Amino acid sequence: MHYPWWYVPFLTSPMLIAIISVLHVLVAHYAVGGGLFLAVETQYAYRYNHREYLAYLKEHAWFFILITVVYGAITGVGIWWTIGVASPLATQTLIHIFVFGWAMEYVFFVLEIVSAFIFYYFWGRLDPKTHVRIGWIYAGSAWMSLVLITGITAFMLNSGQWPEERTFWAGFLNPQFVPQVFARTGGAFLLASLYVYLHATFKAKDPALRDLIAARSARPALLGALLIILGGIGWYLALPESAKAALIAASTLNILVVLIFAVTIAVFFMLYLGPYRNPGWLSPGFAILFFTFGLVAITTGEYIREAVRKPYIIYNVVLGNQVYAEKVPELRRTGYLEGGTWTKAWVAHHYPQVLNNDRIDPAQLLALPEEDQVKLGEVLFLYHCNDCHAGRRGFSAVAQLIRGWTPDMVRTVVEHPEKAHFFMPPWAGTPEEAELLTKYLLRIAHPRPAGMYFGEEK
């Protein structure tokens, strides 16, 4: 590991990625679907010279720009900041493999921003044909952004041929690419309609206009729900074996999968019975309920998509604790502390006595005073485990997980985490380092809860 550690108490730093990403994704899909909505609907309103609808669309375009360009761009940059410090090795790897993809994405991003501003600020000053054309340029470049980013993020879940054939296209056209483009395009359609309903129920005053909007946006939303289901099935089929196993083994994920199916089906029927068959039903309350369901479904979907990736951040390439999978055997021989630029420097600075020919001597580590061994155990914990577990308390706190365990049990988990749970990365240090980490864990472990003693001594 060639980066310093970002310690975030209680939450753990990768959870910050999850939070900012969900906040971003809820708008990023609207940025794509809403662009299509604006292009298609302004074209329709011009064709039938529907002045009221055009006026509404202009108002929607302002809302759209505020939400997608301002909020979307800020959270998008926020993702880069967060992944850069919380998950530097994986970020570095994705940048190196996909330089060309990021460059293309940047071009489309600039096109998006420029066309969105022209579309809104030159409203009424361009002839209808050019105006609609700008709308389509926006929609096309926004969808291309979706395709490019999906290729790269899908790679993280199943890197496919890449570890054997290390080329851009082998990585980009990974098995998860097509299913995820389907699901995300569907998500863009569906979410855009939900945003439109939310906006229109408050802003479109004329009931006839509201009914028109409700009816016209129902079809893309229904199509979106179908694409999500199709893409979801493809996503499942293209999962690596360990991800399928994780989905089946983890009880939280079982529940979430049922939840997402239930919510998607509910949204589908609500759409069909509401806006599609009975546009007049669409009230602000209905729109808010719809929108909430959409947010729940998308958030849950993203959570599941991410959760099954363990023990990897990038499948077969970077492990969940920022270690290259191929480096594990070497680290087991030479030591985790020796293998990391920052851990090595830290040890050399604080405990020069453990160095032997400028290398950390594992045997010397166990000759240190007990308190120093615990301290080194904490360093190992932060680098090796803190990506997924808080320490004493917080998200999946390890001190809670090992409540009341015997020292042998703790030591076994430390030496073979991947055998305790296949979704934990393997131990990547020497047996002596495992001893240090065990000492630290036993120091912070909570006692067994009261009442959990069955005639034994505490």
Which parts of this chain interact with ligand HEC (CB under 6 A)?
Answer: 310-311, 320-321, 384-385, 387-389, 396, 398, 401-402, 413-414, 417, 420-421, 423-425
> Residue 359: how many CB atoms within 10 A of its CB?
13
Q: Which is nearer to ligand HEC, 147 or 308 (CB)?
A: 308
Q: Which is nearer to ligand HEC, 207 or 404 (CB)?
A: 404
Amino acid at 127: D
The least CB distance from residue 251 to ligand HEC, in Å, is 8
Q: Which is nearer to ligand HEC, 60 or 389 (CB)?
A: 389
The CA dihedral of 402, 404, 406, 411, to the nearest 10 degrees, is 10
The least CB distance from residue 357 to ligand HEC, in Å, is 28
Q: Which is nearer to ligand HEC, 152 or 385 (CB)?
A: 385
Contact 343, 1 (CB under 8 A): yes
Amino acid at 350: H
User: Tokens standing for 391?
Assistant: 């320490």
Q: Which is nearer to ligand HEC, 179 or 240 (CB)?
A: 240
Give the CB-nearest residue to ligand HEC.
320
Nearest residue to 398 via CA among 372, 365, 420: 420
Q: Which is nearer to ligand HEC, 14 or 179 (CB)?
A: 14
The least CB distance from residue 386 to ligand HEC, in Å, is 8
The least CB distance from residue 313 to ligand HEC, in Å, is 8
Non-local (6+) Cβ contacts of 415 within 8 A are 427, 431, 434
The least CB distance from residue 312 to ligand HEC, in Å, is 8
Non-local (6+) Cβ contacts of 105 within 8 A are 145, 148, 149
Rounded to whole angstroms, what are the CA distances from 237 to 179, 246, 267? 9, 14, 24
> Residue 253: how many CB atoms within 10 A of its CB?
16
Q: Which is nearer to ligand HEC, 258 or 420 (CB)?
A: 420
The least CB distance from residue 424 to ligand HEC, in Å, is 4
User: Tokens standing for 364?
Assistant: 């010397």
The least CB distance from residue 421 to ligand HEC, in Å, is 5
